A and B are shown apart, each in its own frame.
Chain A
């Protein structure tokens, strides 16, 4: 039975990937990409990798899919490239595929793994989830850099606005008047979303979950409120917003620097109180990640005042 299910999911993932590649319109490709992410998340669940599945669903399919969908909807259709360019792209992609396949096939049996090593030192961290231990203890530097990369991505989005609009607010998410059902949904779902987001962050210490997944759910709850027009997008120049964006990475960096003084190495935690410190850092980066992801989905800041909405009226 499980073999049938797994092969079905595998074939479905390949078919969806082909559909994304062969789609004629960018929007169709983006829709296929979101569906592909969902199937990949299910495949990760089948592989008992719940942490990866959650991240794939929340970040890979959810937030990235939303960004791609909005980009595809806004982008002007372009004429397809010539056969030579597409052939070259296919050739390069195939070469990369062959390289990856060769690497995977030449892995020694059993494949090299640090899983035992990671589990052996789990007790010293006070954490129960080895994935979180890797992310926030063994490879904390990578996670610190990831939070900074998110900030860089947001600066990239904001850079698309004109100089004089730099401190303005992103335009509303939805160009129509919000319907009563949407307003209703935006009133009852965010409390659940906030609960779920906080739970994902909190449970990440011992079971699958974490700052990025929790942050993505919190961002989704916030975007829903913006979608229904219950709140306006914040001005990019707002000091409070910028402080919130920097809070997580800055605290992470400060804790890392303190580690030099108290534990003898950058990003090292003093023995015994590692877990509380990790939770505080995770709480801070969850908040910053949530705001950053939400702002990444929104458009770059635009000048204040009535907006030129594409031919449709919004009251």
Chain B
């Protein structure tokens, strides 16, 4: 039982680290701000989710597990919003046309 739990943790952590690596690679290599943001938010979302998921079976108590889930949920909503704000700034730097788009309530404000 304990071995299965450790293997589950290990697999989840490896997968999560993979997402963070890919996200960082995208951040360093992608050509423009919006693509870089896109890569980064994937690492935040799925990477952190996998790491929390992997650590949950190792939590000492229900409270510890709840704390990790709370951290994940807070990072979720915060990073999604910050990505929107950065996308808005990146749009703003592209000139007047893009600005008019971003000022309007457009559905494609940026990746979350």
A binding-site residues for B, Cβ under 8 Å: 174, 176-177, 179-182, 184-185, 188-189, 192, 312-313, 315
Q: Which residues of A contact B105 (CB under 8 A)?
A: 180
**Which of A179, A184, A185, A313: most chain B Cβ within 10 A?**
A179
Q: Do B92 and A181 touch across chains, with their CB atoms under 8 A apart?
A: no
Q: Do A177 and B78 touch across chains, with their CB atoms under 8 A apart?
A: no
Q: Do A189 and B77 touch across chains, with their CB atoms under 8 A apart?
A: yes
A228 to B80, CA, bound (A): 15
Q: Do B77 and A182 touch across chains, with their CB atoms under 8 A apart?
A: no
Give the 10 A-B CB pairs with smallest separation, nearest first: A185-B81, A181-B81, A181-B84, A179-B84, A176-B88, A182-B81, A312-B92, A177-B103, A185-B77, A179-B109
B binding-site residues for A, Cβ under 8 Å: 74, 77-78, 80-81, 84-85, 88-89, 92, 99, 102-103, 105, 109, 112
A185 to B81, CA, bound (A): 7
Q: Quote the shortest CB–CB distance from B45 to chain A (angstroms).
A: 14
Q: Quote the shortest CB–CB distance from A65 to chain B (angstroms).
A: 15
Q: Do A176 and B102 touch across chains, with their CB atoms under 8 A apart?
A: yes
Q: Do B103 and A313 touch across chains, with their CB atoms under 8 A apart?
A: yes
Q: Quote the shortest CB–CB distance from A212 to chain B (angstroms).
A: 22
A182 to B109, CA, bound (A): 12
Interface contact tally, CB-CB below 8 A? 36
Q: Do B80 and A181 touch across chains, with their CB atoms under 8 A apart?
A: yes
Which one of B74, B84, B103 contacts A182 once the chains associate, using CB atoms below 8 Å? B84
Chain B's closest residue to A310 (CB) is B92
A140 to B80, CA, bound (A): 42
Q: Do A179 and B112 touch across chains, with their CB atoms under 8 A apart?
A: no
Q: Which residues of B contact A174 (CB under 8 A)?
A: 85
Q: Quote the shortest CB–CB distance from A87 to chain B (angstroms).
A: 33
Could you list some 21 contacts between A and B, CB below 8 A? A176-B88, A176-B92, A176-B103, A179-B81, A179-B84, A179-B109, A180-B105, A181-B80, A181-B84, A182-B81, A182-B85, A184-B77, A184-B81, A185-B77, A185-B78, A185-B81, A188-B77, A189-B78, A192-B74, A312-B92, A315-B103
Chain A's closest residue to B106 (CB) is A179
Q: Quote the shortest CB–CB distance from A117 to chain B (angstroms).
A: 35
A192 to B77, CA, bound (A): 13
Chain B's closest residue to A315 (CB) is B103
A15 to B74, CA, bound (A): 28
- Add 5 more A-B contacts to A312-B92, A312-B99 (CB < 8 A): A176-B89, A179-B109, A180-B105, A181-B80, A181-B84
Chain A's closest residue to B100 (CB) is A313
Q: Quote the shortest CB–CB distance from B34 to chain A (angstroms).
A: 15
Q: Quote the shortest CB–CB distance from B44 to chain A (angstroms).
A: 14
Chain A's closest residue to B102 (CB) is A176
Q: Which residues of B contact A182 (CB under 8 A)?
A: 81, 84-85
A179 to B84, CA, bound (A): 8
A48 to B12, CA, bound (A): 29
Q: Quote the shortest CB–CB distance from A254 to chain B (angstroms).
A: 38
A185 to B79, CA, bound (A): 10
Q: Which residues of B contact A176 (CB under 8 A)?
A: 88-89, 92, 102-103
Q: Quote the shortest CB–CB distance from B89 to chain A (angstroms).
A: 8
Q: Quote the shortest CB–CB distance from B102 to chain A (angstroms).
A: 7
Chain B's closest residue to A313 (CB) is B103
A174 to B88, CA, bound (A): 11
